[in-house]
Structure 1
């Protein structure tokens, strides 16, 4: 059964909760801190003023940097869902079954213990606002994984096939999900997420509870057609060519410049909300003992300025996997405290749990470690270690494909390309001394064969270790249907197992891996993204099957009845339109 193992849950004694007044006393507060974790989506390591970008305005985050501890050598995964799995668990994503960004491979195994679960068990109120991207159905949702309050979009972003029908791509006035219920909101998505987070924070302070607030914006991820309009009009006048990488024809240059204006508008809008958030913390008198962390989830979503590095999102070169990490905690961390040691996404959860005095059971097996002692000055001893980053498309990672292993100052890398899983044999690896060559211009592999051999062996040992976390380590999680937690299950192409065609193309096909706890009758609704021609849908779950006539032009309300047997089942819905078959856009299962 997929439900979380109870032996991993634990309760710690609650420490004394301070009032808001106590946060303003002269001496630093010694009780547990509140925690706010902010992560933007596709904002690259160079999209900040304090990182040297003179065109994209981030004055509030720059000010936060001046008051914060700063991890200047911090790494994330090349793409978003893997980073989120590591961030929430303190473990490499290859241990969590979350190994890609779509077609059922961005779902995280529900037995993983999340940061939210650990903090909730320790007495914190927990809330998430924005992008979860680790599963849209029970028992994979944020609300099933430790978050008591959630306002999120489905899938990997607004504007994807997981959007509710009719709400596709709307960053302004989006349709979101509040604790599992579909809600129509007014305003721009980033503003909405920060508003909800600040309401949650205010309610927590009023009730005297410590809180953990996770704000994960979907901006500046595409689509780029719906952005803060006033900021966009300002940025349209900016010449972005100094931070654009590559040679462009005049027409393409115009398109790329317009795209950057839209991205910059979204980034500055995030920055404005960060300023509002800090104002709220001051208003509530909780600034001193509230940890605020800011980072991005991967490299930038275009080839643009990444400082003295190379690369972008999906790449394992440093520009694709570097992020600044700001750690604002006035009670314990001095302003302008810079940590240059190698740290990564797997270290964030251990650090937060350390700061909150939450003990992690040994059987939870974290890959990361707390970097808090380096920020507080209590202990600057940080061992030289090897940290690995790898990303791929599909069900199974391939040894030596699209990976990088870091051991200060070395980087051993094979940037073969995200989605290029055709490697045969051991490739020619590249070796760089990042302390002297951060742009990775001077490959030292031939000059340093001993280093290559040591790091290569370390990578192989890592690959074997993470791949053997479970007997069926890379099998995708299943969606559990028909429970009281989710009587109506919406299945989308985000989580289907793709069969043929381009995964999200209208004429593609796929199926869903489900688990039913008992035999039950279901109402099955078949939905289409646009008015379909006349056709016939064949619906199969295990040995149960039925057919459904699809009238021409009927997107919604195509309903059949099916009894789904208990156990692990595969749900296929194949629609025949004049001899050509395809999958539906979405399927809704409603237990009767």
Structure 2
């Protein structure tokens, strides 16, 4: 799957690495990349939140270079794809958070693969969200160690069934996948991921390592240990700031306030765990040889303080994409400095490669630029263009897209192709909260940016990876395999948590043979239900004679090739879908 990468050879530098004139370090620097999930720009003390307690991250911010104009995608899977590859997410095959749109093409080359080829130990703990089946798992994308949950969130229907069937407690004693094997740790998920991160640091302290700490919190469901919930249980949100009618959070309902209290508790737990990681780096005498990066994946999902940015998670307005980004390295990266130039997730891979003096692979068509010289203060931020988009389903040019150039940003939010007045044009330097639409006063600039948006969309839409990914079934790497609703495709999966979600799994059979299938429900299937499975032109059915939660179809001969799989339960009253489908190739 990685032949393009295999023929790419990197001549790594020998001896010492001089990252900055202030400091020469004796070996390849370690990299720790910490990212949280659905934590907005305003969910930290250092960004002005008057309530949330994040002292460890605040202290980290004080000794970091802060990229104050940094942007991710509006939702999580696209952000993760761009962060790891340096490419717009649609090029990698990732265009949604489920609906067969959150599987990254295995041909993509990740930062973990490049670093691993250059002597690094690589690990991920937490959220992956770029494919749960072979050949799309972290282990196939460069991570030598992985401890991850399934799908896009713990307890979602793309996660392991043991978590999905515990909707009120899935963040505790979470069943996880460690190097593709199920494990059953005890405790709170963020603490568990941090425990694994600390073990990884200790085990690899003598070798350069790349550790991706990808916390799933504070993504919903908003579950947290009681001691953290108690920290904010009496928070009233009744200050003058909370009541300012010019701010969106003044419209918080009681449910929003309840959610905010829980998010702040989860944020403080995250902060404590970040503190644990930073303390371990210091304990292992790695501070002067470790790059630490902290960011969040997109804006806040629920309404609360966000400094004033417009929009929430899912929106290409600043509230959905403008996130904090901190980068530090004791002695070789400047401290307590703001970098105000436009930067984005696609810049991370080239920036890190320059930081550790690894040439950027010529086989990668990257969309980002290294900003490492800017971080060091050796280069001014040049004017650059950045494209951002997301909508449910397949990409559309004007539904939820934006193009940045310099200080200006053109927004297409349900815009009409032939009417430029349906677009939004904003000068972010003068109007960071996107309150004043300049389209009518500067229509020529708006049209110019629309042309760039159009050409970028056309280029990205031609990506060969944008077609649905095919999960390889019956391989020695994963047999049996479990297909989940995370990767079920089609218009019928909008209600993906409900019984009546219907769709197609796209798979690839690599060898002729007999295959067994098991349709798995989360509650008993009524007696007399007709259960069906369809694999292209092959269809099998049987009636359920007892109230089991599973129905098996055995000894189905499949020839090598591509198949679209459908499975459903049929009664006079309804057609429902299984939540999981197990696929086993007979030996």
TM-score (structure 2 length as normaliser): 0.93
Q: Would you say the 8 A contact 2:12–2:357 is kept in 1?
A: no
Q: Distance in 2 between matches of 1:56 and 1:339?
A: 24
Determine the structure 2 residue equivalent to 1:452. 446
What displacement does 1:546 show?
2.2
Residue deviations 1:417-475, cap 9 Å, x none?
Answer: xxxxx9665451111111111111111111112211221111111111212233xx531
Determine the structure 2 residue equivalent to 1:543. 537
Determine the structure 2 residue equivalent to 1:270. 270
Q: Would you say the 8 A contact 2:37–2:215 is kept in 1?
A: yes
Q: Distance in 2 between matches of 1:8 and 1:457?
A: 38
Query: Please, which of 203, 216, 222 is the counterpart of residue 218 of structure 1?
Result: 216
Q: Would you say the 8 A contact 1:9–1:118 is kept in 2?
A: no
Determine the structure 1 residue equivalent to 2:224. 227
Instruction: Note if 1:199 corresponds to 2:191.
Output: no
Determine the structure 1 residue equivalent to 2:488. 496
Greater mean deviation of Cα atoms: 557-566 or 139-148 = 557-566
Map 1:305-324 to 2 at 5 A: 305-324=305-324
Determine the structure 2 residue equivalent to 1:528. 521
What displacement does 1:7 show?
4.4
Instruction: Note if 1:400 corresponds to 2:384.
Output: no
What displacement does 1:243 show?
4.9
Residue deviations 1:143-165, cap 9 Å, x none?
Answer: 11100100001110011102322
Determine the structure 2 residue equivalent to 1:419. none
What displacement does 1:536 show?
2.1
Q: Secondary structure of the equivalent of 1:509?
A: coil
Query: Please, which of 558, 561, 564 is the counterpart of residue 570 of structure 1?
Result: 564
Q: Would you say the 8 A contact 2:493–2:503 is kept in 1?
A: no
Query: Please, which of 469, 480, 486 is the counterpart of residue 472 of structure 2?
Result: 480
Q: Would you say the 8 A contact 1:14–1:123 is kept in 2?
A: no
Q: Distance in 2 between matches of 1:181 and 1:166?
A: 14
Q: Distance in 2 between matches of 1:243 and 1:12?
A: 54
Determine the structure 2 residue equivalent to 1:102. 98
Closer, same or farther in 2 for the Cα pair 1:190/1:243, shift >3 Å? farther
What displacement does 1:305 show?
1.6
- Which ranges in structure 2 are unaligned for 5 or more consecutive residues? 17-21
Closer, same or farther in 2 for the Cα pair 1:180/1:426, shift >3 Å? farther
Map 1:333-482 to 2 at 5 A: 333-377=333-377, 379-395=378-394, 397-416=395-414, 425-426=418-419, 428-470=422-464, 473-482=465-474
What displacement does 1:332 show?
1.6
Q: Would you say the 8 A contact 1:8–1:364 is kept in 2?
A: no
Q: Distance in 1 between matches of 2:113 and 2:311?
A: 35
Determine the structure 2 residue equivalent to 1:286. 286
Closer, same or farther in 2 for the Cα pair 1:194/1:10, shift >3 Å? farther
Q: Secondary structure of the equivalent of 1:374?
A: helix
Determine the structure 1 residue equivalent to 2:122. 126
Q: Secondary structure of the equivalent of 1:288?
A: helix
Determine the structure 1 residue equivalent to 2:19. none
Determine the structure 2 residue equivalent to 1:136. 132
Determine the structure 1 residue equivalent to 2:501. 508
Q: Secondary structure of the equivalent of 1:457?
A: helix
Q: Would you say the 8 A contact 1:79–1:101 is kept in 2?
A: yes
Q: Distance in 2 between matches of 1:336 and 1:315?
A: 30
Q: Distance in 2 between matches of 1:181 and 1:218?
A: 19
Map 1:147-162 to 2 at 5 A: 147-162=143-158
Q: Would you say the 8 A contact 2:540–2:553 is kept in 1?
A: no
- Which ranges in structure 1 are unaligned for 5 or more consecutive residues? 19-25, 417-421
Q: Distance in 2 between matches of 1:264 and 1:317?
A: 23
What displacement does 1:499 show?
4.5
Q: Distance in 2 between matches of 1:165 and 1:45?
A: 33
Aligned length: 570
TM-score (structure 1 length as normaliser): 0.92
Q: Secondary structure of the equivalent of 1:398?
A: coil
Q: Distance in 2 between matches of 1:100 and 1:69?
A: 31
Query: Please, which of 39, 61, 72 is the counterpart of residue 68 of structure 2?
Result: 72
Q: Distance in 2 between matches of 1:390 and 1:118?
A: 27
What displacement does 1:51 show?
0.4
Closer, same or farther in 2 for the Cα pair 1:499/1:453, shift >3 Å? closer
Q: Distance in 2 between matches of 1:390 and 1:98?
A: 12
Closer, same or farther in 2 for the Cα pair 1:423/1:492, shift >3 Å? farther
Q: Distance in 2 between matches of 1:89 and 1:393?
A: 22
Q: Would you say the 8 A contact 1:400–1:426 is kept in 2?
A: no
